[in-house]
Amino acid sequence: MLGQRLRALRQEQRETLAETAGRAGLSPQYLSEIERGRKEPSSEMIAALAGALGTTLIGLTEQVAGDLRRQRAISLARAARPHASGPRASGPVLLSLAA
């Protein structure tokens, strides 16, 4: 989720990987891997990226937490819905037990 949020912030500012990575002090390739969820950056790296994107570490953390809450709510809502492809009960279901 962190990588997705970083990419969204960068794209909202219409910046390239190279521009944001340069201000944060890392390579565009490394930033790309962070955005795709392939690398786990240190807290110092996350703070540098937040600053490069015009926010704070706390602000970025709050945004990611909000993203996670929304994603969880969507997942819970989907899990609570009956499956469209599954059987639908139109009335009482009777079971017969044979001895």
Domain range summary for the chain, segments of one domain joined by +? 2-80
Indicate the pTM of the whole model. Answer: 0.75
Give the homologous superfamily in CATH for domain 2-80. lambda repressor-like DNA-binding domains (1.10.260.40)
pLDDT of residue 84: 55
Q: Give residues with Cβ within 8 angstroms of 87, minimum separation 6.
A: none
* Exposure of 98 in the CB half-sphere (CA atoms within 13 A): 0
pLDDT of residue 80: 87
Instruction: Give, for all 99 residues of the chain, the pLDDT tens digit.
Output: 999 999 999 999 999 999 999 999 999 999 999 999 999 999 999 999 999 999 999 999 999 999 999 999 999 999 888 765 555 545 554 444 554
